Amino acid sequence: MVNAYIKNISFYVPEKIITNDDLSAMMDTSDEWISTRTGIKTRHSVGDTNMGPADLAVRASEKLFKKINISKSEIDFVVFATSTPDYAIPGAGTIFQHKMGLDKIGVLDIRQGCSGFVYALSVANQYIKAGTYKNILVIGAEVQTTQLDYDDEGRGTAIIFGDGAAACLVNGTKDKNKGILSTHLHSDGEFIDELSTKYPSSKYKDIINTKNIEDREHHIYMNGREVFKHAVTRFPQVILEGLEHNSFSVNDLSLVIPHQANYRITQAVQKKLGVTEDKVFSNIHKYGNTTAASVGIALTEALDEGKIKENDIVILAAFGAGFYWGSVVIRW
């Protein structure tokens, strides 16, 4: 049996940058207020380009193919994670597959929000280990800024989210001590309403009506305090679960790459794990929360900055809407 291995990874963010000062002109906030509460300075947006997650994923994948020594024809499966698909039907994965010119291969769409990239890697891991596929593209792509409410009522989410995509190639290695060692996935639907976009909804004949729009139910809603409370508990739990499963201790840990939700959450996770700041990667100040793309974007930058070396124990971890949370333990 082979181990699944992340061969390489790239990301793409749209050119438009929204600064905290830009947001201050739209709502009652300030650079200091946003920075203190979230750690975010800038986030990227598709603006009025009409680009969807599939388009961002194509850009990220084109950058990836410049790094890897295989052709598109050798890709035999795609796992595409997004919570903001281009169409309600079909999923963004098949749109991406067509635009990318990946001839008639299978595609699986993942809708696990901020935990999407971790869930997608878990699926790819099993397919590679089973020998079902040899070269899998794992995508995390998100366009959040088009559905945000840029006024005082929407401030809680408008300051946080950004757009972006990450693409990685997952294939196999015969070295049993390298690659993805284990994945750990959880969910709890009791808290669905604490972080959600309720409309449009197939539960209702009209899907969406004027009242839904007046009540802003077509915009993303987040109960920040409730999300924070659960995140600072679930993150360390699922990281420690991964370490214990592989008979590692916190001292064996080289780097944690968490979903970039909020810098205060990252700091809380670091303190609960009892590790130094350099052991928990953060780039939220540049990109904000890019949902399913954030772990992939952070992993790319950590590699580019030389923060991950051969034989390092790296844990990818995520928590978000659902609630879904999970971790991936990797020996690099």
Look at residue 295 in the predicted model and tell me its pLDDT. 98
From the list 114, 135, 184, 230, the catalytic residue is 114
Domain 3-173 falls under CATH 3.40.47.10: yes
Ranges of CATH 3.40.47.10 domains, the chain:
3-173, 179-331
From the list 3, 125, 171, 289, the catalytic residue is 289
Per-residue DSSP letter, 233 = H
Cis omega (within 30 of 0) on the bond before 53? no
**Architecture of the structural domain at 179-331:** 3-Layer(aba) Sandwich (3.40)
| Mean pLDDT computed over 154-164 | 86
Look at residue 177 in the predicted model and tell me its pLDDT. 87
Q: How far is CA 13 from the centre of its chain?
A: 13
CA angle 290, 144, 205 (to 5 degrees): 135
Rounded CA separation 156/221 (Å): 8
> Locate tokens 């990281």: which residue?
239
From the list 20, 125, 259, 262, the catalytic residue is 259
Look at residue 194 in the predicted model and tell me its pLDDT. 64
Contact 86, 115 (CB under 8 A): no
| 198 pLDDT tier (thresholds 50, 70, 90) | low
> How many helices and strands in the chain, by DSSP H and E?
11, 13
116-140 per-position pLDDT tens digit:
999 999 999 999 999 999 999 999 9
Q: Answer yes or no: 168 catalytic.
A: no
Share of the chain above pLDDT 70, in %: 91
H/E segment holding residue 140: strand 136-142
Rg (Cα) of the chain, in Å, rounded?
19
DSSP letter for each residue of 155-194 = HHHHTTB--EEEEEEEEEES-TTSEEEEEEEEE-GGGGGG
Rounded CA separation 129/55 (Å): 30
304-319 per-position pLDDT tens digit:
999 999 999 999 999 9
CA angle 181, 186, 188 (to 5 degrees): 175
| 191 pLDDT tier (thresholds 50, 70, 90) | confident
pLDDT at 95 over 70: yes
The DSSP bridge pattern shows strands 77-81 and 136-142 to be parallel
Q: How many CB atoms lie within 10 A of CB 136?
A: 28
243-269 per-position pLDDT tens digit:
999 999 999 999 999 999 999 999 999
Cis omega (within 30 of 0) on the bond before 323? yes
54-68 per-position pLDDT tens digit:
999 999 999 999 999
Per-residue DSSP letter, 2 = P
Q: How far is CA 284 from the centre of its chain?
A: 12
pLDDT at 204 over 80: no
pLDDT at 205 over 90: no
Q: Answer yes or no: 289 catalytic.
A: yes
* Cα dihedral across residues 144, 145, 149, 153: positive or negative: positive
**Of the listed ranges 71-75, 141-145, 153-157, 268-272, the one predicted with least confidence:** 153-157
